[in-house]
Amino acid sequence: MGWRCEQFEYQQKVDLIVAGREEQKRQPQERLQDATDRLLLATRLGRGSDSRTERRFLGGIIAGFLVLVGGTIGYVLVENAGWFDSLYMTIVTISTVGYSEIIPLGTGGRVLNIFVILFGVGTVLYVASILAEYLFSGELREIIGQRRMNRHIAGMTGHYVVCGYGRTGEQVVSELTHSAKEVVVVDVSEQNVARATEAGVSAVLGDSGSDETLREAGIERAAGMVAAVAPDASVLMAVLSARALNPDLNIVARADNEESESKLRSAGANRVLSIHRIAGHRLANMVVRPEVAEFLELVLTDHEVEVEMDTVRLAESSPFDKMTLSETNLIERTSANIVGIRKRGGSVTVVATPGTIVNSTDILVAIGTTHQLDELKEMASVGA
């Protein structure tokens, strides 16, 4: 057990060193933008209760208290009045209610009264203007909306966390929401978070490599996470943090550099996709096999087409265990086309024929309408 801990600690150190080297390779403009976003984030998160409006409001309250205390002590010293009468006189003067003076004022008392009126009424108006600004400027609506969103996220279970709401992350969110999946976006940019919320998606402002931010996004209750941030060093930190918080999480990470793929898998990513490699494959297929590429594009990405592709897992004690596809009658009864099978050990049968044998917990790759696939899932979930 001890050597495993040492190996894990060593791997973490190696990953962090690689992350630092990858960070140094980034273009200066990209590093500057990332630093700017992080500075804005630190400013926003660091404000807390010390936001500008709250600091001004607190300052007004303190000023009002000082006027109240100063006026009370002043009437006691100048007019030799009692403490309660002096306090009452100060409050009446500040509130401008117009009651008669309960303390006979001499010249010194009247001079004091002038200062109490000027500073007291000025302070009251100042605090009132801050309250009006707070209530009508939209900041209150923003706070209420954020708290409502936090409560909504806290109630999510089995959702998907998407780290990064750039071009890639936005497309990921679009696909997930179209599949009726609950999504929480995590991004360091206030602008990206605002775009996500405007699109009706729950979002958390913060660094995807921060445990606190991921917990706020409900990573411990999530079904999966897509790390679509940039650069690869940020992806690495997000994967490390997410895996530590949720050992069973299905993590898919994007990689800009091929040499980062093995590091991301070691950090805990279940799957790593190279954006450049995928783009290259698709471009080549479109040139060499345009009809096939167009068909796959239609099935996988065109939401207006009724046909879609999905996976179906056979039950643990499935009655179809050790039967051929033709014997199961799954295709005949559902009209869905089973095109591939992923076996329990990880091997994949790309071309499924009527004589292909299936086993319990096999994953069937099928093409069909939503209704056909739902029927197939219902039949496959039945145990013996």
* Per-residue model confidence as pLDDT tens digits over 119-129: 888 888 888 88
20 pLDDT more than 60: no
Omega prior to 354 cis, within 30 of 0:
no
Closest CA to 231 of 36, 26, 33: 26
Q: Is 146 among the domain residues?
A: no
Query: What pLDDT sits at residue 280?
Result: 87
For the ranges 217-221, 235-239, 246-250, 331-335, the lowest mean pLDDT is seen at 331-335
Q: Is 144 among the domain residues?
A: no
Closest CA to 80 of 41, 48, 113, 106: 106
2 pLDDT more than 90: no
* Domain span at 130: 53-136
Q: Which residue has the higher pLDDT, 345 or 325?
A: 325
What are 53-60's contacts with CB under 8 Å, separation 24+?
53/130, 53/133, 53/134, 53/139, 56/130, 57/127, 57/130, 57/131, 57/134, 60/123, 60/126, 60/127, 60/130
Alpha carbons 183 and 165: distance in angstroms, whole number: 12
Whole-number Cα distances in Å, 210 to 106, 163, 202, 239, 269? 65, 11, 18, 10, 17
Query: What pLDDT sits at residue 274?
Result: 87
Query: What pLDDT sits at residue 243?
Result: 96
Query: What pLDDT sits at residue 223?
Result: 95
Contacts of 384 (CB under 8 A, 6+ apart): 315, 317, 318, 319, 321
> Do 41 and 164 fall within a single domain?
yes
> Do 179 and 72 fall within a single domain?
no
Q: Please check whether residue 72 is in contact with residue 59, taking contact to mean a CB–CB distance below 8 angstroms.
A: no
Sign of CA dihedral 285, 286, 292, 298: positive
Q: Which residue has the higher pLDDT, 38 or 90?
A: 90
Among residues 136, 168, 185, the one where a domain terminates is 136
Q: Is 132 among the domain residues?
A: yes
Q: Is 142 among the domain residues?
A: no
Among residues 234, 259, 277, the one where a domain terminates is 277
Q: Let me know the angle formed at the C-alpha of 14 by 11 and 19, rounded to the nearest 5 degrees.
A: 125
For the ranges 13-22, 101-110, 153-162, 172-181, the lowest mean pLDDT is seen at 13-22
94 pLDDT more than 50: yes
55 pLDDT more than 70: yes
378 pLDDT more than 50: yes
Find where tokens 């706070």 sit.
Answer: 143
Query: What pLDDT sits at residue 111?
Result: 87
Q: Tell me the mean pLDDT in the region 304-333.
A: 85
What CATH number should be reported for the domain holding residue 376? 3.30.70.1450
Q: Is 123 among the domain residues?
A: yes
Q: Tell me the mean pLDDT in the region 51-71.
A: 83
Query: What pLDDT sits at residue 120?
Result: 85
Sign of CA dihedral 162, 163, 169, 170: positive
> Do 72 and 215 fall within a single domain?
no
What CATH number should be reported for the domain holding residue 69? 1.10.287.70
> Do 37 and 158 fall within a single domain?
yes
Total count of domains within the chain: 3
Per-residue pLDDT band for 215 (boundaries 50, 70, 90) equals very high
Among residues 237, 257, 277, the one where a domain terminates is 277
Sign of CA dihedral 124, 129, 134, 135: positive
- Bridge partners (DSSP) of residue 263 are none
Q: Tell me the mean pLDDT in the region 261-285.
A: 88
> Do 196 and 342 fall within a single domain?
no
Q: Tell me the mean pLDDT in the region 224-246.
A: 94
Q: Is 256 among the domain residues?
A: yes
> Do 250 and 207 fall within a single domain?
yes
Query: What pLDDT sits at residue 179?
Result: 81
What CATH number should be reported for the domain holding residue 15? 3.40.50.720
> Do 171 and 97 fall within a single domain?
no
> Do 24 and 110 fall within a single domain?
no
46 pLDDT more than 50: no
DSSP per residue, 299-334: HHH-TTSSEEEEEEEPPTT-TTTTEEHHHHTHHHHH
Q: Is 114 among the domain residues?
A: yes
What would the two tokens of residue 300 be? 């996988």
Using the 8-state DSSP alphabet, how is residue 320 labeled? T
Percent of the chain with pLDDT strictly greater than 90: 28
Residue at 19: amino acid letter = A
Residue at 38: amino acid letter = R
> Do 226 and 123 fall within a single domain?
no
Per-residue pLDDT band for 43 (boundaries 50, 70, 90) equals very low
Whole-number Cα distances in Å, 314 to 105, 144, 250? 93, 45, 20
Per-residue pLDDT band for 28 (boundaries 50, 70, 90) equals very low
Query: What pLDDT sits at residue 89?
Result: 84
> Do 261 and 192 fall within a single domain?
yes
Query: What pLDDT sits at residue 292?
Result: 79
Q: Is 283 among the domain residues?
A: no
What would the two tokens of residue 141 be? 């609506």
**CA within 13 Å, CB half, 62:** 6
> Do 178 and 273 fall within a single domain?
yes
> Do 97 and 70 fall within a single domain?
yes
